[in-house]
Structure 1
Amino acid sequence: MSSKTPKKVFVEGPISPAFISDSIAKHQSKTNIGAHAIFLGQIRADQKEEGVVTGIDYSAYPEMAEGVFHQIREAAFEKFELSCMHIYHSLGLVPVGEISLFVFVSSPHRRPTFEALEYIVEEIKAKVPIFGKELLGDSGAFAWKENS
């Protein structure tokens, strides 16, 4: 169920549990779907040399980044038997413990959801130009986040 129009991906601030729950609930009427897989990227309180991470401030050039998200989406639909896919990523400040990435894929069968989900998350981390500034402690120090 691919769409040729790029979807809006960015959410200001953390992705709320209510938003995630509502997204899942909207799929109950889609009776051709037999499996869903979800990835939730949560901000960790990593210990860095300069202090403990208290949050990440995400920035991007949205039009460019959404173009890359669209390419990843189209490639996943070509590669896997998917019924639908939703990708949301935060912009702005996301405190420790909050969700900054929500990927939700659906298919008639479970195996394609697992394979597609891993593929999509790895492609996002490798290709999408999103920049994360890790905020460290109360000092105002920060470090640019590197994807791993």
Structure 2
Amino acid sequence: MKKIKKFFIEGPINPAFVAESITKHTVKTTIGGHSIFLGQIREDAIDDKKVQAIDFTTYEEMALEKAHEIREEIITKYGLTCAHIYHSLGKIKVGEICLFVFTSAPHRKEAINACDEMVDRIKKEIPLWGKEILEDESHIWKENR
């Protein structure tokens, strides 16, 4: 069994980290396609108040185990060369990146389909909660849509 990888990052995911991750994969010459999903905090309006940030929290031990399970299942199902998941914890402001999913495979369709399924499963299955912080500093617990 593979070691469970940490995938939470305190604060927003830096675009330079995304670029570095892509660069590291150029030496893996069996990869023919990558798929990347970047989740960004959107400025929604709730009761005529703009969302300014989302404060993410989790039950980390359970979340890491579930993420590992999802990752391993999807690697096997799609024959991936590799797959990476990173999710922010803490207060992430509008416009900042909070989720980075990166899948690689010998062929593009497998990478694309795997990435799509992984994002869907992360949102549905991982114990991760977001409190939307509104412009007046009030908050509401976010529901995945």
Same fold? TM cut 0.5: yes
CA contact (8 A) 1:82 1:105 kept: yes
Q: Which of residues 137, 140, 143 in structure 2 aligns to 1:143? A: 140
- The 2-side partners of 1:87 and 1:11 are apart by 10
CA contact (8 A) 1:57 1:133 kept: yes
- The 2-side partners of 1:18 and 1:93 are apart by 19
Deviations along 1:56-101, whole A, 9 cap, x unmatched? Answer: 0000121111111011001101211100011000000110000000
What amino acid sits opposite 2:54 in the alignment? I
1:16 corresponds to 2:1: no
Relative to the length of structure 2, the TM-score reads 0.97
What's the Cα RMSD here?
A: 0.9
What amino acid sits opposite 2:85 in the alignment? I
Where does structure 1 lack aligned partners over 5 or more consecutive residues?
A: none
- The 2-side partners of 1:17 and 1:30 are apart by 21
Aligned partner of residue 78 in structure 1, secondary structure: helix
Aligned partner of residue 25 in structure 2, secondary structure: coil
Aligned partner of residue 116 in structure 1, secondary structure: helix
Shift of 1:50: 5.6
- 1:63 aligns to what? 61
How many residue pairs get aligned? The number is: 145
Deviations along 1:93-132, whole A, 9 cap, x unmatched? Answer: 1100000000000001101011101110000011000010
Aligned partner of residue 84 in structure 2, secondary structure: strand
Moved over 6 A (4+): none
Q: Which of residues 76, 80, 83 in structure 2 aligns to 1:82? A: 80
- 2:91 aligns to what? 93
Q: Return the structure number with greater helix share.
A: 2
Q: Which of residues 112, 117, 125 in structure 2 aligns to 1:127? A: 125
CA contact (8 A) 1:50 1:141 kept: no
Where does structure 2 lack aligned partners over 5 or more consecutive residues?
A: none
What amino acid sits opposite 1:145 in the alignment? K
Aligned partner of residue 5 in structure 1, secondary structure: coil
